[in-house]
């Protein structure tokens, strides 16, 4: 579990963030052979929409969501999606897919003319909504995690860290106007 503890060690071993809660998702597969991981995509999610701390995201990504709990869940009942990491409002991090595998987070997408971003990206979901400010704990955890990802995957440069809206414009809006890119990039630069 990742927290704001400044003494917490962050490390990636065998494609796993060693301090993250591991919650394997079946919604993943192997990347194409010899595919370099060179993009990081930031998303947001809350289930039900606008509600936090429900545990529903974890159940959704692991195909255990009880769709009878909320009317919105009926609209996503047939979706099979995942992300590599999920950062909750309190800064805790859950990993669903090892980084070397393909998580199903980007959908129809393209970056610099290369389609299907799932093939070459790492997806991080922040618990949130486009128009609700993210927490200090989330920014702190995100920056610390991304610093380790940049070490483990040097082809991901700060310029290749984007929002879902950047790779699926017109279809996706996350992480939304509430995400402070300047703040995140400042924290990322402070190693």
DSSP per-residue letters across 94-149: EE-S-TTEEES-S-S-EETTEE-GGGTEEEEEEES-TTSPPPHHHHHHHHHHHHHH
Closest to 12 in 3D by CA, of 88, 84, 87, 120:
84
Query: Tokens 């279809």 sit at which residue?
Result: 171
Task: Please give the Cα distance from 3 to 157 (Å, whole number).
Answer: 25
Task: Please give the Cα distance from 122 to 97 (Å, whole number).
Answer: 9
From 125, 127, 155, 159, the catalytic residue? 125
CB contact at 8 A, 36 and 173 = no
* 159 classed as catalytic: no
Active site residues: 125
């Amino acid at each position: 579990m990742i927290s704001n503890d400044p003494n917490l060690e962050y490390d990636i071993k065998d494609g796993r963030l060693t301090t993250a809660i591991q919650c394997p998702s079946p919604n993943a597969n192997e990347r194409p052979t010899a595919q370099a991981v060179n993009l990081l995509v930031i998303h947001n999610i809350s289930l039900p929409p606008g509600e936090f701390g429900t545990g529903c995201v974890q159940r959704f990504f692991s195909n255990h969501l009880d769709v009878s709990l909320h009317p919105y869940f009926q609209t996503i009942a047939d979706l099979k999606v995942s992300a590599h990491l999920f950062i909750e409002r309190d800064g805790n991090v859950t990993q669903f897919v090892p980084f070397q595998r393909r998580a199903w987070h980007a959908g129809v997408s393209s970056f610099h003319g290369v389609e299907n971003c799932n093939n070459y990206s790492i997806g991080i979901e922040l618990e949130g909504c486009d128009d609700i400010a993210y927490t200090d704990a989330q920014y702190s955890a995100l920056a610390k995690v991304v610093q380790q990802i940049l070490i483990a995957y040097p082809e991901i440069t700060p310029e290749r860290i984007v929002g879902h809206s950047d790779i699926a414009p017109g279809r996706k809006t996350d992480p939304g106007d509430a995400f402070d890119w300047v703040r995140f990039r400042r924290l990322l630069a402070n190693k």
